[in-house]
Amino acid sequence: MSRATSFLVVVVILVAVFAGGLFYLDQAVAPEVQTVEKVLPNDQFSR
């Protein structure tokens, strides 16, 4: 193999590993769910 072909193969493998890692992290890390309750004072709204 020539040097350019070897370099291209290495770059493709690195991109595939990086994309696989991102996919794994996307599936493995679940966002935390929190319920937020905010009480607004009554004098804030006109009647």
What pLDDT digit, counting tens, does each position of 1-47 carry?
Answer: 799 999 999 999 999 999 999 999 988 888 888 999 998 888 777 76
Domain definitions of the chain by residue range: 3-41
pTM of the model: 0.57
**Cα 3 from chain centroid?**
34
pLDDT at residue 21, rounded to an integer: 94
pLDDT at residue 42, rounded to an integer: 81
pLDDT at residue 19, rounded to an integer: 97
pLDDT at residue 43, rounded to an integer: 78
Rounded alpha-carbon distances, angstroms, from residue 25 to 6, 14, 19, 30? 29, 17, 10, 9
